[in-house]
């Protein structure tokens, strides 16, 4: 920012903080240094409008009003109680937590916002040491292109529209959603909100949003219900199936380490003329287990149950077809 403009804005803030009366634009033009540079009324008002927008964007609470019945036009002031950050007195362990929290984000929007918060806390006299060392360091990334517009829409309370791809059955459909929040859960981002097309609360994976997110309608149109807990809403809809299955596998000697490390040996056995071991394994996600076992190729053979053996066989035949072999 040019020095002249920065200086004018700091003076404007100091001036409006120090007054109890509302100051009209004309009065401000007369007393705050820098505005005298505007040669015409039009140039001044353009300059003043830009400055007001800049301050409001930074969160400076500009009040408008009239000090008395005789004022012909609205004036401006900054109420000190709305401007100033309250007292924050953090113990060293609390300040360490704040430093770690500010480092959590790996996303430009949130990193910038956390940095802004740290600067203000430091200005309030809190010592936040960013080099604090902790044994476990969590990081949250937000790289999906849909993240910034959705976060902005949530914070502005605006309705959004986007195309959404459903995996099963495969379809891409336009959705209109009143966004309540964006949620990171187990390494993925979700949008939670009221789905207008289905007239029900729904959860959308950001990675399945196709193309652009469009904010429609006016800010403040979306009201988030008070009683909704975003995190548990996502946790509920994305719950893992709680099924496990036991399988018996043959694994060639010295092979299939990925299977062996999770299994219990039952004894040695030769299969198809190859020495190996029979193992028992608890499969936590039986649906995806067939693909995982098929990946070990001829090193692992399913002995039981028959359904799993059949699914693995189908995967292998499918893989051949996928490689262009006629089966």
Partner 1 sequence: MNAVNDRLPRLLALVPYLLARPGIPIEEAAADFEVTPKQLRRDLELLWMCGLPGYGPGDLIDLSFEGDTVTVTYDAGMSRPLRLTAAEATALLVALRALAETPGVVDKAAVQRAVAKIESAVGQARPAGVAVGLAVREAPETERVRDAVSDGVRRGRALRLRYYTPSRDEITDRVVDPMRVLLVEGRGYLEAWCRAADGVRLFRLDRIDGVEVLDEPASPPPHATPTDTSEGLFHPDPSQRTAVLVLEPDARWFAEYYPIEDLEELGEGRARVRMRYSDTAWMVRLLLGQGGEVHVEQPPDLVEALVRRAEAALRRADHLPST
C-alpha 245/C-alpha 57 separation (Å) is: 56
**3 state SS of 27:** helix
Give me the 292-321 binding string for partner 1, x by CB under 8 A, dash otherwise: xxxxxxx--xxx-----x--xxxxxxxxxx
| Single residue of 220, 225, 267, 322 touching partner 1 by CB under 8 A | 322
d(CA 165, CA 162): 10
Report the nearest approach of partner 1 to the CB of residue 190 (Å): 9
Cα 189 to Cα 176: distance, rounded to the nearest angstrom: 18
**d(Cα 203, Cα 206) in Å, to the nearest integer?**
10
Cβ proximity of 295 and 289 under 8 Å: no
Binding mask 36-65 for partner 1 (x = CB under 8 A): ------------------x---xxxx----
Using rule CB under 8 A, residue 242 touches partner 1 = no
Region from 66-74, 196-204, 211-219, 283-291 binding partner 1, contact rule CB under 8 A: 283-291
Q: Is 324 in the site for partner 1 (CB under 8 A)?
A: yes
Integer Cα distance of 217 and 237 in angstroms: 28
Query: Tokens 């390494």, residue?
Result: 187
CA distance 262 to 215: 48
Of residues 20, 261, 264, 326, which one binds partner 1 by CB under 8 A? 261
Q: Which of residues 132-171 bind partner 1 (CB under 8 A)?
A: 134-141, 143, 151, 154-155, 165, 167-168, 170-171
Residue 123 burial (C-beta neighbours within 10 Å; 0-12, 13-18, 19+):
exposed
CA distance 265 to 276: 11
In the complex, what is the shortest distance from the CB of residue 67 to partner 1, in angstroms, rounded to a whole number?
A: 16
Q: Which two tokens stand for residue 132?
A: 């604090």
Strand partners, 50: none
Among 52, 66, 214, 255, binds partner 1 (CB under 8 A): 255
Which residue of 25, 203, 209, 230 would you call a contact of partner 1, by CB under 8 A?
Answer: 230
Nearer to partner 1, 44 or 249 (CB): 249
**Closer of 40 and 239 to partner 1 (Cβ):** 239
Minimum distance of partner 1 from residue 286's CB (angstroms): 14
Taking residues 100 to 129 in sequence order and writing x for each that binds partner 1 by CB under 8 A, - otherwise, the string is xxx-xxx--xxxxxxxxxxxxxxxxx----
Binding segment for partner 1 (CB under 8 A), chosen from 36-44, 68-76, 195-203, 284-292, is: 284-292
Considering only residues 14, 73, 221, 266, which one is a binding residue for partner 1 as defined by CB under 8 A?
14
What value, to the nearest 5°, has the Cα angle with vertex 159 and ends 158 and 163? 135
Q: Which is nearer to partner 1, 40 or 167 (CB)?
A: 167
The answer to whether residue 323 forms part of the interface with partner 1 (CB under 8 A) is yes
Q: Whole-angstrom Cα distance, residue 29 to residue 73?
A: 15
Give 23's DSSP letter.
Answer: B
């Amino acid at each position: 920012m040019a020095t002249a403009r920065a200086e004018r804005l700091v003076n404007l803030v100091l001036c409006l903080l120090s007054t109890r009366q509302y100051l009209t634009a004309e009065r401000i033009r007369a007393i705050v240094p820098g505005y005298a540079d505007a040669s015409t009324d039009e140039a001044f008002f353009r300059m003043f409008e830009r400055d007001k927008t800049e301050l409001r964007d930074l969160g400076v609470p500009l009040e408008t009003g009239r000090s008395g019945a005789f004022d012909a036009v609205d004036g401006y002031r900054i109420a000190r109680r709305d401007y100033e950050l309250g007292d924050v007195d953090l113990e060293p362990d609390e300040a360490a937590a704040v430093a770690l929290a500010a480092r959590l984000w790996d996303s430009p929007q949130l990193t910038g916002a956390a940095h802004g918060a740290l600067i203000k806390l430091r200005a309030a006299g809190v010592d936040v040491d960013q080099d604090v060392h902790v044994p476990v360091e969590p990081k949250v990334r937000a790289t999906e292109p849909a993240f910034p517009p959705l976060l902005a829409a949530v914070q502005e309370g605006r309705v959004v529209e986007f195309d959404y791809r459903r995996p099963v059955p495969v379809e891409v459909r336009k959705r209109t959603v009143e966004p309540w929040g964006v949620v990171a859960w187990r390494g993925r981002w979700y949008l939670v909100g009221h789905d207008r097309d289905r007239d029900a609360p729904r959860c959308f994976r950001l990675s399945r949003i196709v193309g652009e997110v469009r904010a429609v309608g006016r800010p403040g149109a979306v009201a988030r219900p008070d009683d909704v807990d975003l995190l548990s809403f996502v946790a509920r809809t994305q719950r893992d199936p709680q099924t496990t299955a036991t399988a018996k596998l043959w694994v060639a000697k010295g092979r299939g380490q990925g299977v062996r490390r999770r299994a219990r040996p039952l004894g040695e056995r030769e299969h198809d003329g190859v020495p190996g071991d029979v193992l028992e394994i608890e499969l936590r996600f039986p649906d995806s287990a067939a693909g995982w076992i098929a990946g070990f190729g001829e090193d692992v053979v399913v002995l039981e149950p028959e359904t799993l053996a059949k699914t693995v066989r189908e995967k292998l035949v499918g893989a051949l077809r996928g490689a262009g072999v006629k089966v």
